[in-house]
Amino acid sequence: MATKDRRARELQETRDKILDAAREMFTEDGFDAVTMRAIANRIEYTPTAIYHHFKNKNALLSEICMLDFQALARHFNASVATSDPVRRILAVGEAYLRFAEKHPSQYRFMFMTVLPPPELDDQYVAEHRGNPEKDAYAFLREACREAIVSGLLRPELTDADELAQVLWGGVHGMISIRIVKNHAEWVPWRKLRPTALRAMRVMVRGILRDPSKQKL
């Protein structure tokens, strides 16, 4: 391997190590409590090495947000292939569950950690926000919009954003409560996957105009 290529690989490996440590620490301790020095100590680097890659903690946060939400959008696009908007809504929920199972650290960071707004440049926002190929929320919203337009849903459901947020909140609730309460012996918890899939089907059937005409 050429020296230049090896150096680039080493820099990327260092950058990834910083990102992974920061993600874990923001999730465990809260964004405000974590310092750049603490991140450096976690991975046994000097603070100077961290600042070589990220100018401050907000820049580090923004990079993690961009990477993780882009990964979720790619996961949706790769996992959801059906053209039927109702079945696509259900498939999005299943893909969301798989992402949480496969990437628990990212999931906790993205959806269960209080964070300040990331600092995204105008070009990034213009390219990603509202683009179903790059924006996971836009992917779900578009499926909801198409389902509304198709006439397959209950007539009072006319707001694609509201519907997307209702469905998203339901699936997220199933996942997050199990993450934070799975150790509790008071509740006889059932397995997450079959329980969450059943809940998704109940929710989707509940929004249909005529559930008997839609096979899920």
Contacts of 14 (CB under 8 A, 6+ apart): 45, 49, 53
Tens digit of pLDDT for each residue in 69-93?
Answer: 999 999 999 999 888 999 999 999 9
Angle between helices 104-111 and 160-181 (to 10 degrees): 120
Q: How far is CA 206 from the centre of its chain?
A: 25
Instruction: Indicate the number of domains in the chain.
Output: 2
**Domain boundaries, position 46:** 1-54
**pTM of this structure:** 0.89
Report yes or no on 216 lying in a domain: no
Distance CA 22, CA 60 (A): 8
CATH number of the structural domain spanning residue 47: 1.10.10.60
- pLDDT given for residue 165 in this prediction: 98
- pLDDT given for residue 207 in this prediction: 97
pLDDT at 198 over 90: yes
Longest Cα–Cα distance of the chain, Å, equals 64
pLDDT at 9 over 70: yes
Do 6 and 110 belong together in one domain? Answer: no
- pLDDT given for residue 206 in this prediction: 96
Do 131 and 189 belong together in one domain? Answer: yes
- pLDDT given for residue 8 in this prediction: 80
Do 68 and 42 belong together in one domain? Answer: no
